[in-house]
Chain A
């Protein structure tokens, strides 16, 4: 079984400041890792994913995340945020086998970017 912990439920930050949203996971099997973003009144949009290879993954809108196997973490970062980044961010994992295809989500982190 897998589980995901997002340590911060809310992160307020000023525009153009850097931000890091933390995600830790636990799993008894090898996993794929994902970050999704949910803008107000919208569905979930994939930001980035880690499948294999380089542990630093770049996604859309200037976001990146680093997979750290020893710390079982997959933190999301952006060097300079914009007002438009205000949204809720969800970290998710799934097992690598097709039979383990369902996503397990964290509780989400609400990023609030202030001018």
Chain B
């Protein structure tokens, strides 16, 4: 069964450093998402991406965040200058072509900012 993959599984970085989280969505999917889950809190939407552009973003997704689909398979989330409060589990999700399509989630990347 096709699945969403994410790398790395765990990333440790120093405050102020840039990080790139990588995701490989399911191959025929067209809609891509990033969510995050701070420890002990709910899963929160960050951004959605369709047709090579951002379609929605939350208030969390400020100027330090960016997303890119650099080739036909990868979908990346970049955090330009990490803060302590960016420490969280980051989930990538993808969905197919219709408005009722299920979002399939990857296993997540745990980001720890020191």
Determine the main DSSP class of B at the interface with A: strand
Q: CB < 8 Å: which of A43, A102, A104, A107 contacts B105?
A: A43
Which of chain B's residues has its CB closest to A104's CB?
A: B45
Give the interface residue-count category, chain B. 20 to 34
Identify A105's interface contact among B43, B48, B99, B102, CB under 8 A. Answer: B43
Contact A102 B42 (CB under 8 A): no
Interface 0/1 of B89-114, CB less than 8 Å to A:
00101010001101111111000000
The tally of CB-CB contacts under 8 A between chains A and B is 54
CA distance A36 to B93 in the complex (A): 13
Q: Could you list which residues of chain A lie within 8 angstroms of chain B, going by C-beta atoms?
A: 32, 34, 36, 42-46, 49, 51, 90, 92, 96-99, 101-108
Question: Chain B interface (Cβ within 8 Å of chain A)?
Answer: 4, 31, 33, 35, 41-45, 48, 55-56, 58, 91, 93, 95, 99-100, 102-108
